[in-house]
Amino acid sequence: MGKVVCPRCGSVLAGLHEGALGRASALLLAALILYFPANLMPVMRTTQLGDVVDRTIMEGVLDFWANGEIGIALIIFVASIAVPCTKFIALGTLFWSSFRKSAQGMRERAGLYRIVELVGYWSMLDVLVVAIVCALVQFHALSAAEPRPGILYFGVVVILTMLSAMQFDPRLIWEGKEKDESDT
């Protein structure tokens, strides 16, 4: 395969990254597998007046909801449950359609990729919140907070989805197969 030259300016174009789709898919699969322990294991342990409580992400959401903190519950739900699940679906759709060389919705898929890239940087917000709460709530005899293993898994999930999106070569979106008479 020779050099590809831009028909407009004559510059030599970089080729597609070999194996990018496979690496991106493997990272996404690893993130999806680790998402289960991230949600099933406690992310934080709180101690208040000797009462020790371990909470998963969803238990925290339900606890805030039950205590009337609906805004906080919704923020945590969106950031910890809805956004990661949407990211899995979006990246999976991008990877699958690129693997199939689908010519449908290329422009929309390119926009979807940009959104996934933008959201990726905000995905660590949950880990940051747990770190801040654990650092600030340290009144030894009265109350304390400490991170639990679930937050580690959640942080790894966020990193893996970010790496997956970074490994994906978005030019693959535009490699759609041309329609011929056999496709109609």
CA distances from 132 to 17, 33, 125 (A): 39, 27, 10
What pTM did the predictor assign? Answer: 0.80
For residue 34, which of 163, 159, 153 has the smallest C-alpha distance? 153
Q: How many CA atoms lie within 13 A of 76 on its CB side?
A: 22
Q: Is the CA virtual torsion 138, 40, 127, 122 positive or negative?
A: negative
CA 14, CA 109: separation in Å to the nearest integer?
A: 21
Q: How many CA atoms lie within 13 A of 39 on its CB side?
A: 18
Tens digit of each residue's pLDDT (9 = 90 or more) over 45-58: 888 877 888 999 99
**Cβ atoms within 10 A of the Cβ of 146, count?**
14
Average pLDDT over residues 60-78: 89
Determine phi and psi for 64, rounding to 5 degrees: -60, -40
Identify the residue whose tokens are 């999930």. 157
Tens digit of each residue's pLDDT (9 = 90 or more) over 74-133: 988 988 899 999 999 999 999 999 998 888 888 899 899 999 988 877 777 777 777 777
The DSSP code sequence of 24-36 is HHHHHHHHHHHHH
CATH topology of domain 19-177: Butyryl-CoA Dehydrogenase, subunit A; domain 3 (1.20.140)
CA 95, CA 27: separation in Å to the nearest integer?
A: 12
The domain locations on the chain are 19-177
- E strands within 4-160? 4-5, 12-13, 44-48, 51-55, 143-147
